[in-house]
Amino acid sequence: MNSLVLHGGASNKSELRIKVEEFADIAFKEKNALNAVVKAVVLMEDDPLFNAGTGSNMRLDGSIQMDAAVMVPGKFGAVINIENVRNPVLVARDVMLKSPHLILAGDGAIEFARKMGYESYDPSTEKARTKRERILKKLKNGGIPEYYHPEFFLEFLGDTVGAVARINGDFAAAVSTGGTSLTLRGRVGDSPIPGAGIYCGEKGAVVATGIGEEIIKRMLSINVYNRIGEMPLEEICKEELERFGDIPVGIIAIDKESECALSNLTMPYAIKKE
């Protein structure tokens, strides 16, 4: 049975729940798993409501650096801290399919994108500028609360977008993020790290979202993947989430028979299946 799961990051905005449902309907029309997850992520990258592509956050210095990754069994591609492109996930797919490498970063990722035909694109928006200004004002006033506080996370830190799919027996996963406003230039989260923010193999596909540093330390996605078959998928995800306590985190996952989307924070998601 064909299935697609996508999430729009940590958000309590009702309009995002509507958007992910719409985007899931569109992406599920694709004929293979890789195209479906990439299409879903591209749609979210192009919508400024999401923290990816055009909706990306500005860092403290005002720059926008984005991460994205795609994975299918036996293949992986990612870009880290790429700038001035519209759809980082498409560049990540080209790294996987059209280069001898797995990950390209910074200037090298940008140069590769240009060689692949991606034009220069400024993803900055008034929303991103306003969020950065609010963060800087809070920093000056000493008003930044504890970093992992859920309300602070929802208001300022932003999140990834991602998708997993099983189509005609094949699995695929894709993620993209515009990072967080309260970070230094050059920071890398979990999204482009295989095993942390994304993993896909012959048993299924997993994508994580939340506080990237904590997800990397716990290698959340590979932990979920390695346990597939041990118990129902939703129970596996629930147990892995519990390891994080109240640290904001979410998971979408798919195996040969089931799908799940769980978070200890508000997370708009959609599940499509035949």
Flag whether 114 is marked binding: no
> Is 211 annotated as ligand-binding?
yes
Structure tokens at 88: 């980082």
Q: Which two tokens stand for residue 82?
A: 């790429």
Q: Which of 54, 130, 160, 177 is flagged as catalytic?
A: 160
**Alpha-carbon distance 185 to 30, whole Å?**
36
Known catalytic residue at 160: yes
Query: Does 209 carry a binding-site annotation?
Result: yes
CB 123 within 8 A of CB 86: yes
- 134 Cβ partners below 8 Å, 6+ apart? 156
User: Has 189 been labeled as part of a binding site?
Assistant: yes
Give 190's contacts (C-beta < 8 A, 6+ positions apart).
160, 196, 197, 208, 210, 212, 213, 215, 216, 220
Per DSSP (E only), the strands in the chain are 3-7, 66-72, 75-82, 103-105, 160-167, 170-177, 198-201, 204-210, 249-255, 259-263, 269-273
* 162 assigned to a ligand binding site: no
Tokens of 154: 């929802």
The C-alpha atoms of residue 96 and residue 201 are separated, in whole angstroms, by: 15
Report the alpha-carbon distance of residue 108 to residue 88 in Å, rounded.
Answer: 13
Q: Is 188 annotated as a binding residue?
A: yes
Beta bridge partners of 206: 199, 253
Binding site feature residues: 187-190, 209-212
Binding site feature residues for substrate: 187-190, 209-212
> Which positions are catalytic?
160
